[in-house]
C-alpha cells in the first residue's frame, strides 16, 4: 500500500498542440500528486486528455507549461542526456499490444532493446535477464526467439509489460493497457499488474475509461473532462460520494449487480456532445452539458480545491 510521500508531483501541467491556426488544449493546467507505491486511476471520456497527460508526464510529449517533479527532481528542466538516464525510472505500457511491438523483432530483442540502450546487460547476462522477465510475466522463457504475431493479444500485452520492467522502473504509466483485450483476458492482466506492484514496489498511473476496473485497481481516482481535472479522491470515496456533476453522471452509467438497487437508481444522461477541445465553453468547460449549471459557471472558471480531506474538485457548487 502507498505511503504518504509523493513520488510524482504534477503542477499546473499544460500540453497544447497547434492545429492550423487553432490551439488544441489537450491538457490544460492540471495539478495532482502520486504517492509511492499507489495506483492513481485516471478516467474520462475519449479525447479528454488522459493519454496526453500520461505522455507529457513522461516527456514523450514536451510540456507547454507547468512542472513534473519526480522523486524530488524537476524533470521538465532536464536536458536530453539527463532525461535518458531518468527514463530508467519511468516507463509506459501502451494501449495497443498489436501496434506497440515491432513485428520484425523477436520478443527477446523487443525486451532486450531497453537493456541495450541503458547498457544494463550483454551476452549471456542479457539472455538470462530476458528469460527472467518473460517468466515474471508468466510467459515461457523458451519463446524469446518468436515474433509478436505468434502470440495472442493478452500475451503481447505481457510482453509490453516485460519490456517496461526491463530497466527496473519505479513508476509506470499504464495507458489503457486492457482496452484492446478480450474481457476474459483483462482481469488476468490487471491481476498481473497488481502482483508486480506488490513484488517490486511499483507506482502506477492507470489510465482507462472502464470505471469498474479502475475502482478495482486504484487507490485514488482522478476524473478528467476536456483537458481539465474535475475531481480527485480515494477510490471508495469517489464512487460512494461523487461531488462533481460530471463524475456523478459517469458513475450513474455503471451497472450494479443488485436488480433492486439498479431499478431504484437514477441514471443521469448528459445532454449534447462533448465540445471541441479547440473551442471549449467559457468558464467551466462542463457547463454546456451540466444539469446543475448556474449563470456564474459561464463567467468564471471553477477553482481546483480540496473540499473535504483528500477530496478535490473544481466546481462552483462547492466554492
pLDDT tens-digit series, residues 268-308: 777 777 888 888 899 999 999 998 999 999 999 999 999 99
Of the ranges 63-72, 164-173, 210-219, 256-265, which one carries the lowest mean pLDDT score?
Answer: 256-265
Q: What is the pLDDT of residue 261?
A: 64
Q: What is the pLDDT of residue 274?
A: 82
Q: What is the pLDDT of residue 265?
A: 66
Q: What percent of the chain has pLDDT over 90?
A: 66
Q: Are 33 and 235 within 8 A, CB to CB?
A: no
Q: What is the pLDDT of residue 305?
A: 93
Residues β-bridged to residue 222: 42, 232
Residue of higher predicted confidence among 268 and 162: 162
Q: In the Cβ-directed half-sphere of 172, how many Cα atoms lie within 13 Å?
A: 28
Average pLDDT, stretch 158-168? Answer: 93
Q: What is the pLDDT of residue 111?
A: 92
Q: Are 290 and 250 within 8 A, CB to CB?
A: no
Average pLDDT, stretch 243-248? Answer: 94
Residue of higher predicted confidence among 273 and 311: 311
Domain with CATH 3.40.50.300 in the chain: 6-89+169-318
Q: C-alpha grid cell for residue 176?
A: 489503457
Q: What is the pLDDT of residue 146?
A: 93
Q: C-alpha grid cell for residue 71?
A: 522523486
Average pLDDT, stretch 208-232? Answer: 91
Element (DSSP H or E) covering residue 70:
strand 65-70
Burial class (CB in 10 A: 0-12, 13-18, 19+), 206: buried
Whether the pLDDT of residue 1 is over 60: the answer is: no
Instruction: Using pLDDT thresholds of 50, 70 and 90, give the confidence band for residue 252.
Output: confident
Average pLDDT, stretch 305-319? Answer: 93
Q: C-alpha grid cell for residue 223?
A: 476524473
Q: Are 167 and 145 within 8 A, CB to CB?
A: no
- Read off the pTM: 0.90
CA–centroid distance for 198 within its chain: 19
Q: What is the pLDDT of residue 45?
A: 85
Element (DSSP H or E) covering residue 42:
strand 39-43
Whether the pLDDT of residue 36 is over 90: the answer is: yes
Average pLDDT, stretch 103-123? Answer: 89
Average pLDDT, stretch 127-131? Answer: 93
Whether the pLDDT of residue 2 is over 60: the answer is: no
10 Å Cβ neighbour count for 152? 12
The C-alpha angle 183, 186, 192, rounded to 5 degrees, equals 160
Q: What is the pLDDT of residue 43?
A: 93
Whether the pLDDT of residue 222 is over 80: the answer is: yes
Distance (Å, whole) CA 73 – CA 116: 25
Q: Provide the edge-to-edge strand list for the sheet that holds 22-35.
A: 22-35, 6-19, 65-70, 73-74
Average pLDDT, stretch 252-269? Answer: 71
Whether domain 6-89+169-318 has CATH 3.40.640.10: the reply is no
Q: Among candidates 180, 178, 246, 181, which has minimal Cα distance to 212?
A: 178
Instruction: Using pLDDT thresholds of 50, 70 and 90, give the confidence band for residue 28.
Output: very high
Which one-letter DSSP state was computed for residue 266? Answer: P
Amino acid at each position: 500500500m502507498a505511503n504518504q510521500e509523493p513520488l510524482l508531483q504534477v503542477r499546473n501541467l499544460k500540453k497544447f498542440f497547434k492545429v492550423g491556426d487553432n490551439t488544441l488544449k489537450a491538457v490544460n493546467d492540471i495539478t495532482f500528486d502520486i504517492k509511492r507505491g499507489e495506483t492513481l486511476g485516471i478516467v474520462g471520456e475519449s479525447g479528454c486528455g488522459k493519454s496526453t497527460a500520461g505522455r507529457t508526464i513522461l516527456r514523450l510529449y514536451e510540456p507547454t507549461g507547468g512542472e513534473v517533479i519526480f522523486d524530488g527532481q524537476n524533470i521538465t528542466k532536464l536536458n536530453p542526456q539527463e532525461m535518458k538516464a531518468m527514463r530508467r525510472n519511468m516507463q509506459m505500457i501502451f494501449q495497443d499490444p498489436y501496434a506497440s511491438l515491432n513485428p520484425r523483432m523477436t520478443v527477446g530483442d523487443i525486451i532486450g532493446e531497453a537493456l541495450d540502450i541503458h547498457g544494463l546487460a550483454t551476452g549471456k547476462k542479457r539472455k538470462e535477464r530476458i528469460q527472467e522477465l518473460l517468466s515474471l510475466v508468466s510467459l515461457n522463457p523458451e519463446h524469446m526467439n518468436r515474433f509478436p504475431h505468434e502470440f495472442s493479444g493478452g500475451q503481447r500485452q505481457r510482453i509490453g509489460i516485460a519490456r517496461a520492467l526491463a530497466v527496473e522502473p519505479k513508476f509506470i504509466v499504464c495507458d489503457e493497457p486492457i482496452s484492446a483485450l478480450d474481457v476474459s483476458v483483462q482481469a488476468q492482466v490487471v491481476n498481473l499488474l497488481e502482483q508486480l506492484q506488490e513484488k517490486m514496489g511499483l507506482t502506477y498511473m492507470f489510465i482507462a475509461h472502464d470505471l469498474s476496473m479502475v475502482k478495482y485497481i486504484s487507490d485514488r481516482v482522478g476524473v478528467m473532462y476536456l483537458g481539465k481535472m474535475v475531481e480527485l479522491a480515494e477510490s471508495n470515496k469517489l464512487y460512494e460520494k461523487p461531488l462533481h456533476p460530471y463524475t456523478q453522471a459517469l458513475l450513474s452509467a455503471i451497472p450494479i449487480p443488485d436488480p433492486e438497487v439498479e431499478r431504484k437508481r437514477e441514471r443521469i444522461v448528459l445532454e449534447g456532445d462533448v465540445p471541441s477541445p479547440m473551442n471549449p465553453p467559457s468558464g467551466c468547460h462542463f457547463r454546456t452539458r451540466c444539469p446543475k449549471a448556474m449563470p456564474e459557471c459561464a463567467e468564471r472558471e471553477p477553482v481546483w480545491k480540496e473540499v473535504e480531506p483528500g477530496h478535490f474538485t473544481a466546481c462552483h457548487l462547492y466554492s
